[in-house]
């Protein structure tokens, strides 16, 4: 009798590439950058349905298919291959049907049609994440086609709106709120939305911040009569960053989880209200983010940053200046420079459970198929899996089979051979959980 892995076989590359070609052909219409670009994920749903509907219960097949929509044209798709043992389940989730934007004039090829160059599959969404949509759809099609008798129910959840969370209530957050994923807590949940074929076991939290500096506007030829907010912001930020790195140094667990970087705080944007080159402005704002490994508390960091700024305001005359007339206090005018820090919505990072059954089977499958296993972590953020893991209690493990080097990049591509290995990893996971 054939084993389950033999039954599932290898990825049907012709079928996979055929579906992916249709999905990439829709990528122009699923770019996510509101309010200008609102994705229409149902365009992707329809192609997946065309592949899987012939195997649905409605046509006498085994697949239970639920198309769930909360906003017009923005559907999610839940597909179940039923097992025989109640309460035994595993799921593949996170294959989102939207993409980041692409400007064709910046690319060396058309981002909105699938290009094939040997092993390379080129186009927006090949790595993130339409390639994974096609890959898991092929897995579910093969299960339905071969009809192995499984103890575990295998569930695939294709989701809307992962690339921009500014419009809530569209994708997995709404599915969780409605309880449509509650049964997935009974087994490991594999979030398929990373890259490089290795388990991604940790992600970072993110705290967006704005540091506003208020000074006094004056002619640059009379700098002694001004409070320069640009200098104030630069000197203050230097102190804030130094204190941050003292209070939140590299954590010992970061090496265990393989984080590429420790927690960081840095500026990424600079704003000021404009004016002549010969004019010292009255105010400016420096913006940036904190990327925080999951071993530190987002709340603690925010409190510390607020305390740093409060201390700087109290002792602003002690802050380093720049040159003989640079100052942040004008006693004769009873004026003091001021700093204010504000925060946009913050999110915490994730450290996957390294003792869970899901992690162990993912590692074994990866080593078996890829030839080695080297879990890694990044301080990029995946807010949706934090909600699933911490707030909802799912055993979340993450993996992906695109290329990190082209993730969200121009000239995005993936490798067909990597996706074929991903398919075999999935087959191995299912087989192990049947044991």
Q: Which two tokens stand for residue 357?
A: 């059954």
Q: How many CB atoms lie within 10 A of CB 371?
A: 9
Q: Which two tokens stand for residue 343?
A: 């925060």
Distance CA 213, CA 233 (A): 6
Closest CA relative to residue 19, chosen from 119, 95, 166, 133 = 133
Closest CA relative to residue 136, chosen from 426, 432, 428 = 426
Catalytic residue (choose from 41, 98, 235, 283): 98
Q: Let me know if 98 is a catalytic residue.
A: yes
Cα of first residue to Cα of last residue in the chain, in angstroms, is 16
The position carrying tokens 């591509």 is: 413
Catalytic residue (choose from 40, 42, 162, 196): 162
CA distance to 248, 344, 346, 388, per residue, from 208 (Å): 17, 5, 7, 22
DSSP H helices, 147-284, are 172-177, 229-247, 252-257
Give strand pairing partners of 213: 284, 339
Cβ atoms of 373 and 198 closer than 8 Å: yes
Q: Which two tokens stand for residue 199?
A: 């388990």
Residue numbers annotated as active site:
98, 162
């Amino acid at each position: 009798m054939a084993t389950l892995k033999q039954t599932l076989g290898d990825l049907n590359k012709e079928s996979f590439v055929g579906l992916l070609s249709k999905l990439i052909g829709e990528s122009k219409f699923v770019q996510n950058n509101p309010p200008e670009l609102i994705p229409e994920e149902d365009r992707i749903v329809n192609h997946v349905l065309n592949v899987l509907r012939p195997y649905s219960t409605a046509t006498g097949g085994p697949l239970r298919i639920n198309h769930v929509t909360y906003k017009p044209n923005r559907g999610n798709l839940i597909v179940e291959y039923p097992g025989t043992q109640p309460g035994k389940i595993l799921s593949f989730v996170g294959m989102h049907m939207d993409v980041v934007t692409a400007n064709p004039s910046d690319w060396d090829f058309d981002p909105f049609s699938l290009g094939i160059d040997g092993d390379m599959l080129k186009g927006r969404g090949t790595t993130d994440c339409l390639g994974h949509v096609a890959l898991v759809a092929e897995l579910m099609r093969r299960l339905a086609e071969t009809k192995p008798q499984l103890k575990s129910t295998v569930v695939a959840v294709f989701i809307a709106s992962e690339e921009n969370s500014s419009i809530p209530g569209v994708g997995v957050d709404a599915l969780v709120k409605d309880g449509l994923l509650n049964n997935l807590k009974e087994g490991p949940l594999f979030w398929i939305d990373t890259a490089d074929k290795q388990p991604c076991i940790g992600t970072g939290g993110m705290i967006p911040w704005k540091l506003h500096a208020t000074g006094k506007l004056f002619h640059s030829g009379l700098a002694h009569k001004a409070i320069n907010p640009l200098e104030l912001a630069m000197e203050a930020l230097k102190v804030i960053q130094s204190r941050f790195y003292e209070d939140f140094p590299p954590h010992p667990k970061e090496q265990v989880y393989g984080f590429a970087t420790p927690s960081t705080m840095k500026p990424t944007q600079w704003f000021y209200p404009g004016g002549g080159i010969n004019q010292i402005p009255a105010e400016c704002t420096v913006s940036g983010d904190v990327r925080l490994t999951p071993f530190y508390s987002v709340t603690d960091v925010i409190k510390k940053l607020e305390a740093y700024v409060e201390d700087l305001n109290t002792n602003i005359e002690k802050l380093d200046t720049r040159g003989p007339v640079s100052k942040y206090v004008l006693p004769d005018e009873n004026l003091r420079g001021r700093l204010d820090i504000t925060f946009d919505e913050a999110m915490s990072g994730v450290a996957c459970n390294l003792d869970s059954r899901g992690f162990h089977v993912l590692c074994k499958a990866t080593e078996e198929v890829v030839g080695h296993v080297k879990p890694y972590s990044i301080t990029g953020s995946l807010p949706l899996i934090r909600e699933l893991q911490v707030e909802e209690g799912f055993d979340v493990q993450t993996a992906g089979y695109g290329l990190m080097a082209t993730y969200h990049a121009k000239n995005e591509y993936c490798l067909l051979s990597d996706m074929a290995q991903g398919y075999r990893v999935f087959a191995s996971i299912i087989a192990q959980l049947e044991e």
